[in-house]
Amino acid sequence: MAEFQNVPANAPVGTKLLNWVDNRFPLSKLWNEQWGQYYAPKNFNVWYIFGSLAALVLVMQILTGIFLTMHYKPDAALAFASVEYIMRDVPWGWLVRYMHSTGASAFFVVVYLHMFRGMIYGSYRKPRELIWIFGCAIFLVLMAEAFMGYLLPWGQMSYWGAQVIVNLFAAVPFVGPDLALLIRGDYVVGDATLNRFFSFHVIAVPLVLLGLVAAHLIALHEVGSNNPDGVEVKDYRGPDGKPLDAIPSHPYYTVHDIFGVTVFLFLFSAVVFFMPEMGGYFLEFNNYIEANPLKTPAHIAPVWYFTPFYSMLRATTDVLMGVISLIVVLGAVMAILRGGFSARMKIVIAVVAAVCVWLFGGIKALLLALGMSGVPTWLSGWDAKFWGVVVMGGAVIILFFLPWLDRSPVRSIRYRPGWHKWVYGVFVFFFLVLGYLGAQPPSAPANLVSQIGTFVYFGFFLLMPWWSRLGTFKPVPTRVTYSGH
């Protein structure tokens, strides 16, 4: 048992109270370890405000969600009316509801920017792999949380969006129909679906999210923060053992983050008070119409932060799978002719390629291209709809492997070849294009662009072990580069 620390009898009341608490609970110790005396690199720039903004929005979502739950009715017959009641009759209910809906979009804005900062500065590289993995898990859980919350207003777009997404799981071979039934709780999206989505959205998923955020922060404070130069500040310490290129988070980064929070809240308030629908992107106009299972909207699209992945889903057609099958065949032929493999290994490559072509529906695509109709089921392989689900999920899962895909000898984009910035720029451009097209009605030209964007997205990651090592790299300084403002 630790000895009690005493303070002078004439100490201020606040000091005495804090000492009383510290003798029973390590409040000051936790504050100093996690923030007050946590040394962070002194060259942080504006990209490093989005982590604290994500924490702010998380707290805001929890608080506004609690107040919305007080008046919301998770009943298919009452849900839409309860939201209208909150908007019209509950004092300041409209503000709480708009803060929650705008907060959902703001959450994804800051998370996307936070993840992009990690990508350009190599914050996922050794020894920070677990920080990145926990962060990707937070992103994945956040998507589940947003999807389940999206159904709760019980508007037309909420209902039919959930209907489309849940039905995608029915495309999974063998277990698909049972899996979709398990998620819905019924044969159609209805009261059972609304109840289980409400339970997960309010209780289960937030608990997982909070646990992952805690793990993310613990891992971060264990190995220390990365910085724009990508060098380790712990390698150079002063006589007192403190890193020479780091400063205490408080008061320096407290002020830094307060400034970022002020700018963010100014923009956030402008959206909440003047354009909470954001032209139909944050709150779709169809969602102001009560869900009608008998009337399908002309165009069904998810909310904006899902649209890049929804574009990839729609882009995965029989034609695309036929092209991928052709790529597999060409790759197998080149490996057999030029790989120097043994005869047994060549047979294995050929068999694996043939199985992949069948699974991808390549045989079906070839027969259809030859004008044959009525392709037998056993030759059709797995449906393109299923592969669309795989592509959509794979677009998120592949992020977890980024620490091992990047083989660059340096961490930060600052010291990589100049054309690497163009590679990242093309990646971001096509990601934004996919997001835009996912919100638009489908068309043949848009589908072609989405397919190109899908190839670019996956090519960026899958070819990273190759392109990340190419070019002339700049010398990395041994200590951080910093000049005062």
User: Residue 124 contacts by C-beta under 8 Å, 6 or more apart in sequence?
Assistant: 118, 131, 132, 402, 403, 406
Write down the pLDDT at residue 370: 65
Per-residue pLDDT tens, the chain, 485 aa: give them: 556 777 888 888 888 898 889 888 988 888 888 888 888 999 899 999 999 999 999 999 999 999 999 999 999 999 999 999 999 999 999 999 999 999 999 999 999 999 999 999 999 999 999 999 999 999 999 999 999 999 999 999 999 999 988 988 888 888 889 999 999 998 889 999 999 999 999 999 999 999 999 999 999 999 999 999 999 888 888 888 888 889 999 899 999 999 999 999 999 999 999 999 998 889 988 899 999 998 988 888 889 999 999 999 999 988 888 888 888 888 888 888 876 778 888 888 888 888 888 888 777 777 766 666 666 666 677 888 889 999 999 999 999 999 999 999 999 999 999 999 999 999 999 999 999 999 999 899 999 999 999 999 999 999 999 999 999 999 999 888 876 65
Write down the pLDDT at residue 339: 66
Question: Are 96 and 43 within one domain?
Answer: yes
Q: Are 376 and 398 in contact (CB under 8 A)?
A: no
Check whether 100 is labelled as a binding-site residue: yes
Question: Are 213 and 282 within one domain?
Answer: yes
pTM: 0.92
| 269, two tokens | 């308030």
Question: Are 115 and 211 within one domain?
Answer: yes
Check whether 216 is labelled as a binding-site residue: yes
Write down the pLDDT at residue 69: 96
CATH number for 198: 1.20.810.10
Question: Are 136 and 185 within one domain?
Answer: yes
Residue 247 lies in a domain: yes
Q: Which amino acid is at 118?
A: G
Question: Are 314 and 292 within one domain?
Answer: no
- Which of 300, 325, 347 terminates a domain? The answer is 300
Residue 21 lies in a domain: no
- Which of 243, 268, 300 terminates a domain? The answer is 300
Question: Are 320 and 442 within one domain?
Answer: yes
User: Could you tell me whether strands 246-248 and 39-41 are parallel, antiparallel, or unpaired per DSSP bridges?
Assistant: antiparallel
| Neighbouring C-alpha atoms within 13 Å toward the C-beta of 154 | 25
Question: Are 253 and 164 within one domain?
Answer: yes
Round to whole Å and give the CA distance between 343 and 355: 19
> Per the structure, how many domains does the chain have?
2
Residue 270's CB: how many other CB atoms inside 10 A? 10
Q: Are 318 and 364 in contact (CB under 8 A)?
A: yes
Residue 70 lies in a domain: yes
Check whether 71 is labelled as a binding-site residue: no
Question: Are 341 and 425 within one domain?
Answer: yes
Tokens 């032209």 appear where? 279
- Which of 278, 300, 322 terminates a domain? The answer is 300
Question: Are 343 and 247 within one domain?
Answer: no
Question: Are 258 and 321 within one domain?
Answer: no
Round to whole Å and give the CA distance between 428 and 433: 9
Residue 483 lies in a domain: no
Q: Which amino acid is at 286?
A: N
Q: Which domain holds residue 401?
A: 303-470
Question: Are 291 and 325 within one domain?
Answer: no
Write down the pLDDT at residue 1: 53
User: Residue 336 contacts by C-beta under 8 Å, 6 or more apart in sequence?
Assistant: 346, 349, 350
Write down the pLDDT at residue 273: 96
